[in-house]
Chain A
């Protein structure tokens, strides 16, 4: 999929939504102020599809998140803009007890094709209630697919896949990526859910990075190349179901693993990835896997405090160096 057309991430999401709505009349978009769209992904949809298919909801996350369960059982394909990742917590009963579990509890009777998407993660002094990444908690729920694209191209393709999927899919858009640009093909296309991508090939260390940290890891990898260190960067793109094979293949090649996650360390996606690699590719590891994730505190407001807690390029670089400095096993 080569193209010269460069698009903002947020417009790539918009195109995914638009193409899926053109493809299937049952696709509807709801959420708070989706007509004018504060974050931007739904801006312009109402002009093309009208207020029946692009609906503003009251600020009642639990109810509109839950309403999508009934609506999808009735035959719609609802796409929900939650606006901010932390707002998942407001709707947690409907997300975790209802949407995620009804297909399973019913013995596979029902398909719930719902997409819950939101901007998420730290965006710069947004403080504790607007900087969360809820994916670690959601990964543990069982019954939710979770995607987290890192490039505009993936953003569009994964949006289309998420809407076509017959299951509830959580689509997390790292807030700082909204204004990044990259090549995006014009025509509708899909990126399969459950497929990781090697974003940069390398020989010495595997860095698995998620969401906005992919670009940071790529930057570190570029800098380290000048020091003669070859870093492979793998982007899972989907967190549930996880493409373990691509990650394991990479670690088996390099023998070293650093996992970068925009979430608190405890029970993070980084922890899960480090754990399954340790279990399944222990013999290939030359040194212990390293996790680069947030300190286990809420995200503070002041820039200096925030920097102390979050992941940046320095921390990624230090982790990569530490895997190289460790004496290798014979």
Chain B
């Protein structure tokens, strides 16, 4: 029953002369193209795009869609990514014509409804984070990191301080040091201690008057809340440096604790994680940032303000770093985040985090009997197990486990991250999964540990493909389809 129309490439389905989209004849008098575009600019022919009928196109892409696992179709316990249910009402409401078809260059007078929503969202994020200055502009989490570091750089430049070092935790997302690099900083990693928390001695040793920012993920990528947090932030502030909070794990602490209250000076949110924006196959997301008052003048332009008459206006902060993206930001993602926050309200958001904690700890209580969980009995919204022992005893690696679980109808957890755990398997169930699903997942994990040989080493067996050759893909890259004659 294989659908060839899906697995063939568009270009292989193409037949000369086929055509889908057609405009009605032009109803105006106008010179020919040749009169309007000089020869030196005009192409002899249009690009060699595939030629298809509309039915071809639809069947092809619908067929391809069935080869994806997704939150709508499967449990997706991908640690650090918070793959929660994507509410359908948000899709409908973000697609209303007065939202979806608003042009970014319209005057403020014609966009008051949308600006009101964005203004409210700024205030909501300030309340959730405990940090009053908000920019909705960054287009992704990593983009938020970079933007916040540009803000920090501008602040230190204005203060006349030459601080060039950014500290990152060794358990951090790889984007942290990369963002620091892009903002012109040098990075140093601070070690984790045996408990998976910040090693205070190492932090003291690396903290000095060159330190600009310590980038911290809390709860960290092991799913642990760092109980030393006040001590860490006090120490960093005493050294004259700022604390940046990577907000990837905000789903664990909504209404329970606020980054601003535990000492963060800047942070980003991932609305596509915490506030249920669909991940879209890997994008779009957004990365709004929140900062303390004294950093707010440096935020990118524009931010939404409200004047005395109650009119919403776009404003450039006084010492703005400028822009990091054209126009306002990823508004479609932000609208969904707003709707999500409104759906729960203040008390409801705390319930979200409580249920995320409950689900993760429940799954941990099951998984710890199946494989090692190096960092203990409790976690926040996710936890990291290790396949080291299974690998030694049964030859079952984290990769095998991830591939085999696909056969049981579950998306794999994140594997081999964070780097501080050997054979890491990072599991985040989120609050939108039932106890039955979590039970079934734990049961599947257990059954896999009883399996051996090719059954696990060659898994998955039920998917259209299995164990692609990544090495050849990188060594001899084939990055586009080309007609046969060009590839011979």
Question: Do the two shown chains form a genuine complex with each other?
Answer: no
Give the interface of B toward A (CB within 8 A).
none
